[in-house]
Structure 1
């Protein structure tokens, strides 16, 4: 039996029963946080953060968040937009004159933020080479994997990829004259007191950082470590770690207009229906949960067994953060089950 640790605020019986079932029946490992108006209503840590040494998840644990990093990058771009230093409909070349891709003069910052630059996305087609084989200098990575030919008219076609947000990270460096990691710390992490969140490099020694695992479908309760990779190459698209409580700080700073003005948040949360409801750093769309329709802003992350899932209901001021290190549970599915159960318990 795997060890389990729990820290729970305002324990909710039916939510707790769901979590116990995910753990016992589906071997869920990770953390689940629910907050309303920024106040934690439910927080649990369950299972193992490190199977080699049988280290259980706890409040000290740090999680790889992969593409949730993109929302931090979008926020940094929108701060520059607020300052009048970046215009969302200006071209890549306006802020990155050395960019050699065909999209340089044709794709805009808004296109990058909505995965609609029109590029062929070589980083996706050459996934192992781009991310697993070596650490690429940033400019080399962009030249090799983010400077492809155009296959779509910019702004017309949604094509999810890391490259668009890696280019945005390079633009942030150009605008500030500092490494992305330093801008991230100065503009978001330090002001918000996110002391357990940071940019990650492959050789960093980070205390209490979790490891990730894949589950053998044919052998019950058997796991293996994913192939080695270099987190450095994910850069501004996925190279961060955090905790559920730190992510709540970020959530509240965004939705309460600490990091961005109200008008700018509205720009951030404006979804593009022709681009699969993507917004700037989020997806935003109506969703029926427990028979009632809500507006949902959500962001997901995945990489090598690590999963992160963040949902915010703006009208209800409810936040759900799910973090895991195994592929045994579909976070995209259980998030709606958890929210439906929580809403039913709290809206009687």
Structure 2
């Protein structure tokens, strides 16, 4: 018993040293790279570090908190992909069927040529008519049908499935398909299949009339002026199922564990969602995959998010079972670079800990 006690004491001390190293790295990024936000690193779902630095609101000097809510932008697409595959599980959607099978009223050229698989992998070829207009499409309140008619029903600019060009068009169309086939709103599907089962109480679809409490204010670095300014006004809900959600770091960890732990979908649908396609930019459904890149020496998945100053980065590694979540309210910091350093430091410390070299 004495040896077990001393081992546990030593293990606790070593884990504390690892946490301190990660904390120091975050502080360094705050000081040298102007990072402001929340960082969460976990191993096999267990939190190694959860740390908030910087200001949630620069006008009031409100400090960032670990439960601060962020606009997660395109991280929303993973939730949309899960809801799509949930309907596949239920036999209500088939991935190789075209848009017209579910939205016969759709008038775009890709109606009978673009499949759900094409939508999920950004390989539809549907012209992204919103992108050249900057923020304008997101500054006028439109219904989902109005938005699709105006921005998601253009001609095909390449053969569906021949390549992948990232954009929001596909995932906005997926929201419409989810709602049409299920007979329920996107929010109702989200609550029933993800938020409720995982008890994500700080996550949801953004609405301007009822913004979430404890939401951070986001700021954009203007290169020409070299100063941070509050994000120009826009309506986050106009990003729909492509980018209209908010969340916290801890809720996103629970979602990460639910997805990769096969708690949300059948094993078959989880595998389909996580299969990445090298011929389509290594796109999975809502995520991207890699067999190893940069400092990541193992297979991993990643998802970024960014609308003006609302930026985020999510990494999940398969062998070491690391989850790295970074949420920021400015566009000043290279979040993938910070993710790489957190991974390198965390795996190095863990290797030393397991080998008994940390004493």
Same fold (TM over 0.5): yes
Instruction: Name the counterpart of 1:4.
Output: none
2:309 to 305, 311, 314: 305
* 1:126-275 equivalence runs, <5 A: 126-132=133-139, 134-217=140-223, 222-275=227-280
The 5 Å alignment of 1:56-67 reads: 56-67=63-74
Matching of residue 111 in structure 1 with residue 115 in structure 2: no
CA contact (8 A) 1:9 1:41 kept: no
The answer as to whether partners of 1:9 and 1:40 remain within 8 angstroms in 2 is no
Is 1:278 paired with 2:245?
A: no
Q: Give the deviation of 1:11 after TM superposition.
A: 5.3
2:332 is aligned to 328
CA 1:91–1:10 in 2, change beyond 3 Å: closer, same or farther? Answer: farther
Match for 1:52 among 36, 50, 59? 59
**SS of structure 2 residue aligned to 1:279:** coil
Displacement, 1:40?
Answer: 0.5
Distance 1:129 1:25 in 2: 34
Segments of 5+ residues of structure 1 without an aligned counterpart are 1-7
d(CA) in 1 for partners of 2:17 and 2:49? 6
Cα separation, partners in 2 of 1:332 and 1:59, compared to 1, 3 Å: closer
Look up the SS of the partner of 1:287 in the other structure. Answer: coil
SS of residue matched to 2:291: strand
Given that 2:30 and 2:36 are in contact with CA atoms closer than 8 Å, whether structure 1 keeps it comes out as: yes
1:314 lines up with 2:321 in the alignment: no
SS in 1 for 2:196: helix
- Measured after TM superposition, the shift of residue 182 of structure 1 is 1.5
CA 1:322/1:100 → structure 2, altered by over 3 Å: closer, same or farther?
Answer: same
Cα distance, 1:216 vs structure 2: 4.3
Corresponding residue number in structure 2 for 1:293: 297
Distance (whole Å) between structure 2 residues aligned to residue 218 and residue 152 of structure 1? 36
Q: Deviations over 1:98-131 (max 9, x none)?
A: 1111111000000000001011111112233311
Q: In structure 2, do the counterparts of structure 1 residues 86 and 40 end up closer, same or farther at CA, with 3 Å as the change threshold?
A: same
Q: Greater helix percent: which structure?
A: 2
1:294 is paired with a residue whose SS is coil
Q: Deviations over 1:301-348 (max 9, x none)?
A: 100210111100022221000000111111122211111111111112
Task: Please report the RMSD computed on the Cα atoms of aligned residues, expressed in angstroms.
Answer: 1.6
CA distance in 2, matches of 1:315, 1:79: 26
d(CA) in 1 for partners of 2:135 and 2:33?
29
Q: Partner residue of 2:356?
A: none
Runs of 4+ displaced beyond 3 Å: 8-11, 216-220
Secondary structure of 1:150's aligned partner: coil
What do residues 60-100 of structure 1 show as CA deviations (whole Å, max 9, x unaligned)? 31111010000000000001111111111000111111111
Structure 2: how far apart are the matches of 1:143 and 1:60? 38
Work out whether residues 117 and 155 of structure 1, in 8 Å CA contact, stay in contact via their aligned partners in 2: yes
- How many residues get paired? 338
